[in-house]
Structure 1
């Protein structure tokens, strides 16, 4: 198999539960590289009420890579306060430059410190870990990468210790974040709570016991409406002015000018009217678009573990907690739960006229970041 064509050759899996099977994953070619990023002090940013900004920066890592890839498909995963991806060797330098550009942008625009790192598969495998991927067909138009093998978790830990850091970009460097937006309203829980769930293998590498646990969790979640999907089938609501417009204005390569902000407010007012009142514009069908947003949403993933954002009733939360506590006591997993009242979306929309737009779902009050923090700090919390 040619290295550059590796990802295109992978089958798309239509059933999420198939992703608990290690046989669903294919190791990346030896000459590929892996990049990752995460925000330093994200818990403090959340406490300051800036989780929408945190999500925007995390999704910005992926947006910059998509635009730098020039239409080439590649595996990536969104983690709330960070992201990871892999690419063929011929694209490694371009990917590294895009990572460093996002780091410079996050510091300049938001005062956020973003760690960024990149390592070869050979180096990861020399440390006894691997990176294997699968493609999950979330909808007819969008698929997402799933990761196994422990390599992403290993690289993130190494990055936090200072290893594999990329050189900083020159001052004033800005990434290409075309398509990155966060215009949708927060999505209220319909069944009691928005549950952010992060489950990690106890030894960082999923094995048979973790597979059994993941299947148990998914079996419980299947009792929820649409597997706990936080977005209603008819799509999310919109409001104006959209809460994320001020953030989106700061993604422009030319900077956050008054003209840019005014233009965005005009664009979002028009979009709000079209979506709010279901007004067809040419071939654009707003009802169909809103349904596609839900179908395309990334609300569950395997990322050297299992992460989900679920619209969940209290009884199901307790059933999940009981299964997870038992598995943690048996030394199979470590886990974190975080409950909040709303979910939120951060989006990458190259064109509203096509259905390949992607939407990253997280809890609106801390989500994955605070669920992961519970793994280190103890019992789960709930926001007011």
Structure 2
């Protein structure tokens, strides 16, 4: 039997056992890498793994990660959800679906400043859930739209998971941010269109619309959105305009988030310490996973697994579409058991050589992977957005997953669209950065 095939079987079995037994994901990745080295690589793993972990931990692109995480934690505690609701509600209240659109548009706005799916869903849900309940909106559509739209935090820049992909795939984070803009706006349109259609078909479950406001009152309410719009312009505009790297833009974002919290009266010593500790925990977890995933990547590289996988893809003569279909099923299965960043770093060592062999644009693939991982955020049993909404509503994960299913289908439809029309992803990066 071919030694590379045996290595793949042993690696898969080791990961299954360690992840299934509850061992930390990072330690499971490191342990699997050690097993591959010990049994299939005739080299001492000590110095190789040590240097690999060091190289993976000081990558300059990673410096943006803790900054964006901290910014999201500040904004989640800053009262931003109240401002979003008051600013958006006059403009969407007369649309089919009414205030339900705040879940979608509010998550889109929040995603543009948080970079995190769970933070996006939690921040918008804090205000929208009580308000929608009070107006008798359908609870399933309310929860489903919020869980689905919360995934925008992964796609609409700045995105933490895009930073991780940029590091593991050695791609420009700025290009990835720009590439995610049009697909993110496309998903907002798809989700809102579905809510409008559902409301027209189910008028008795659409909830009570607030009183119509004159244009002047709408404009006054829109002042609530001004701080967050300025923050989005400062972050995204500085990157797109070539004035700042993602790391520098993250520093601008933290300053803006602190200023916004100060203006809202929510900035105090306790909030600052709480946000710092939460950001530290999340950043350390992600960085540890990335470093250990790098060790696994170097191990499978020495064991010739990526080369064998690439040759296997070439020998099967799969079209790019067939490969994307297979990978979509693979990622969806992983998404039932792992969270997004773990899926990305766990699969990168084998998947990236495969897409390179198939001639797929790595920037396009990064956006595709993020959308598939968005699906993982709303698939049980390990779906972060489902867990966030469970804690906020008290409903079961299965019930929330059922309510979210139509939005999962829309995410998969978005994958079809970007495959058929790849310019949705590649047009802006090629236009702005060449």
TM over 0.5: no
TM-score by length of 2: 0.26
Larger relative helix fraction: 2
Rg larger for: 2
Higher relative contact order (CA 8 A, sep 6+): 2
More strand, by proportion: 1
